[in-house]
Amino acid sequence: MINFNVPPYVETAMDYIAECVKNQKICGDGAYTKKCNQWIEERTGTSKCLLTTSCTHATEMAALLAEIQPGDEVIMPAYTFVSTADAFVLRGATPVFVDIRPDTMNIDETLIEAAITPKTKAIVPVHYAGVSCEMDTIMDIAQRHHLIVIEDAAQGIMSSYKGKALGTIGDYGCFSFHETKNYSMGEGGALLIKDAANIENAEIIREKGTNRSKFFSGQIDKYTWVNYGSSYLPSYMNAAYLYSQLEIADEINEARLGIFDRYMENLKELEQAGKIELPVIPEGCVANGHMFYFKTKDLEERSRLIDFLKERGVHAVFHYIPLHTAPAGLKYGRFHGEDKYTTKESERLLRLPMYYGLTPEQVDYISEQVKEFYR
Ligand SMILES: *Cc1c(COP(=O)(O)O)cnc(C)c1O
């Protein structure tokens, strides 16, 4: 069976983790956490990166930093992972879902403005498959309406929009290092902070509401409880595992892009024959090979194709059930405008195996099975 996902394995991870264990340094902000933060800061150009226990937690931190209150509204797509909405629901806010663009599966930037009310506090663009949303338009809307922008860049590390790293364009950016993402620490994530004025508060929220971070950097001689917060620090060991991959991030990125391009090339003829639709990467966007998907005719055809591939040893999967149709989405959120594409396009989308280590032969085998189905 060719698995849908296999987390990356880099040999140095064993040495780095062993070093943490032997030195009996395993919790909090240690050497490898700092190395990861620095690496992300240098590569993305963000003012500050704080490694977290997940992207979900990075988004929760952003919601706390944005001072989201009960009754506030937050605009986002419904075609996303639950955490995009949940982080704001936990603060008592209402997710307001708007439709997606069928080409990228990202929020349709032309529908955002009509969904703004006096209660709107933030916009949360989700960069699906590591392909950027139309950020110039989104930032312009946010500026004119004084809204905070929190990028769900869970899938977007190493991707860019008009030369800017995803996660650095909005006020806050959230990365995921879950084992299904391009770089992994098992469970983990990062919060990127654009405005240096928000760093101190973010450090306090991440350290259980204390100014411990200032204490460790020698700015104060004892630390205390100064604000609300929680515990969003990953252990050194997880950071060590992640760092082994960041050191070869370009190699991993190129391998993934190679797989993406090979699928595109192999399946081009099916698109030309009008059988399937291939993904689109708009002008100005550089992607990261996070995912390879294409669209079938409809839900029924997709189900048959998934079964067909399974019988031939290929694990293909579908993706999100739109949040506005889920029990919690119905309870806590609302959809603004017409659901023209969210449900319809999500039902047609199928993802093929994609991971660091998938061989060209495997990609060709998988592509051949897809072609066989359409014969
Ligand atoms: C993976 C993912 C998340 C959640 O990431 P965790 O690190 O598992 O919390 C959130 N949003 C999107 C779009 C994701 O793909």
Q: Do both 261 and 238 map to the same domain?
A: no
Distance from the CA of 123 to the center of ligand 1, in angstroms? 17
Write down the pLDDT at residue 372: 98
CA neighbor of 257 nearest in space, from 130, 361, 349, 117: 130
Distance from the CA of 181 to the center of ligand 1, in angstroms? 9
Last residue of a domain, which of 199, 214, 246?
Answer: 246
Last residue of a domain, which of 221, 246, 271?
Answer: 246
The DSSP-derived string for 164-195 is: EETTSSSSEEEEE-STTSSS--SS-EEEEESS
Domain limits for position 279:
249-374
Q: Do both 296 and 179 map to the same domain?
A: no
- Does 153 reside within a domain? yes
Q: Do both 289 and 368 map to the same domain?
A: yes
Write down the pLDDT at residue 25: 83
Which ranges of the chain have pLDDT less than 50? none
Write down the pLDDT at residue 27: 85
Q: Which amino acid residue places its CA nearest to atom 5 of ligand 1? A: 55
Q: Do both 178 and 312 map to the same domain?
A: no
Write down the pLDDT at residue 222: 85
Please tell me the total count of domains within the chain. Answer: 2
Distance from the CA of 291 to the center of ligand 1, in angstroms? 14
Ligand 1 within 6 A of 54 CB?
Answer: yes
Write down the pLDDT at residue 342: 98
What is d(CA 302, CA 279) in angstroms, rounded to the nearest whole number? Answer: 16
- Does 4 reside within a domain? no
Q: Which atom of ligand 1 lies nearest, measured to the CA of 128?
A: 13
Q: Which atom of ligand 1 lies nearest, measured to the CA of 155?
A: 15
Distance from the CA of 82 to the center of ligand 1, in angstroms? 8
Q: Which atom of ligand 1 lies nearest, measured to the CA of 187?
A: 7
Q: Do both 262 and 188 map to the same domain?
A: no
Q: Are strands 189-193 and 48-52 parallel, antiparallel or unpaired?
A: antiparallel
What is d(CA 116, CA 118) in angstroms, rounded to the nearest whole number? Answer: 7
Contact (CB, 8 A) for 309 and 294: no
